[in-house]
Amino acid sequence: MATSGGDVEDPSIEVLTEAAAAFGLLASPARLQIVWALAQGERDVSGLAESVGGALPAVSQHLTKLKLAGLVRSRREGRRVVYLINDQDVVTMVRWLVGRLTDRGEASERIRGLGA
């Protein structure tokens, strides 16, 4: 397989396809908000809906998609189903990106303030 400078091999098309699908799922603000909330700790659907301010059916649908993609998982506690992050690296990536965008936003605000 070809390399892109250095000793790291380019990823296969299968890996890139899987990554694109995961990024596609995370391209939804509602799903990002759910991942963000689950990064704070596991929750059931009702708790998540309350936390993110979403309707229970919509949050449930988002969770189903995130679960099918392997980004979250669930476990049963009696009658309750609790959701949690399946891969901490996803949380790390989301926190990094949101932090970068937040920093840029603050920098943009400071720059706009200087020009006023």
More confidently predicted of 5 and 50 = 50
Q: Which two tokens stand for residue 67?
A: 């679960």
**pLDDT-based confidence at residue 103 (cuts at 50, 70, 90):** confident
Q: Which domains does the chain have, with CATH numbers?
A: 13-115 (1.10.10.10)
CA distance linking residue 112 with residue 54, whole number of Å: 33
Determine the length of the chain.
116
Bridge partners of 83? 43, 74
pLDDT at site 5: 54
**pLDDT-based confidence at residue 44 (cuts at 50, 70, 90):** very high
pLDDT tens-digit series, residues 4-27: 555 679 999 999 998 898 889 889
Rounded to two decimals, the pTM is 0.78
CB 35 within 8 Å of CB 94: yes
| Lowest mean pLDDT, pick from 13-17, 63-67, 112-116 | 112-116
Neighbours of 83 (CB within 10 A): 23
pLDDT tens-digit series, residues 67-80: 998 999 999 999 99
